[in-house]
Amino acid sequence: MIVVGITGASGSILGVRLVEELLNLEQKVVGVVSAEAWSVMTHELSFKPSGREPLRELLVKRGLTARLGAYQEFDDKNLFAAIASGTSSFRAVVVMPTSMKTLSAVANGYADSLITRSCDVALKEKRQCILVPRETPLSLIHVENMRKAMLAGAQIAPPMPGFYTRPKSIDDVVNFTVGKVINLLGLQHTLFKSWGAETSEES
Ligand SMILES: Cc1cc2nc3c(=O)[nH]c(=O)nc-3n(C[C@H](O)[C@H](O)[C@H](O)COP(=O)(O)O)c2cc1C
């Protein structure tokens, strides 16, 4: 089981695509969308959720229905959800995108939301905690928080596209970051060709 948190940094599509791909890879996924991420999703994806499960609604709207049995969603304020406890068996949490506020909370153990608490749990239980921080430029506070989170065991995977895959669309750019995170989770994907495969095909 993999937890995917979406916070209010720009790039909600990254988290949405990650959930879609993980479900396609037959993973169980728990989704949590922060209150601010709802607003950003409304703006960036022209999508206004009507209920308490914004991501499920969006997945359905985007045509993913077959695998939704493997998907669960909780409110970011719901600290009674199973993933708020170390007794829950999730193996990894990915926060994609991670706002600088959530980065700060994770780096400093300020676990007042389900997303930050599940990261806190992952770090204390020595499970995978992958943060995809999105901001530019970075202040020293941001950099120090990334350093602190890394020292505590988090992996930092900023959404930085590699141009050697010759992206032709925004989808290609999004898929690159999503694919890199899926690689970190130890799963295989076909979202982009790895460097050797790319060059050997072209030669
Ligand atoms: C349209 C929009 C884009 C934003 N983009 C970013 C961003 O890229 N990085 C960031 O750290 N905060 C960004 N913010 C600010 C965060 O949403 C804000 O700090 C919020 O409190 C984060 O809360 P959360 O981490 O609980 O979602 C953005 C806000 C809006 C409205």
- What residue spans define the domains of the chain? 2-202
Helix ranges (H only) for 83-158 are 100-107, 114-124, 140-151
Q: What pTM was estimated for this model as a whole?
A: 0.95
What's residue 131's pLDDT? Answer: 98
β-bridge pairing 92-98 and 2-6: parallel
**Second CATH level (architecture) for the domain 2-202:** 3-Layer(aba) Sandwich (3.40)
List residues near ligand 1 (CB under 6 A).
Answer: 7-10, 34, 36-37, 39-40, 43, 99-102, 134-135
* Ligand 1 atom closest to Cα of residue 99: 11
pLDDT tens, position by position, 141-175: 999 999 999 999 999 999 999 998 999 999 999 99
Kindly give the distance from the C-alpha atom of residue 18 to the centroid of ligand 1, in angstroms, as a whole number. 19
Going by C-alpha positions, the residue among 115, 102, 113, 95 that lies closest to residue 142 is 102
Mean pLDDT is lowest, of 37-51, 106-120, 150-164, for: 37-51
What CA–CA distance (Å, rounded) separates 63 from 73? Answer: 17
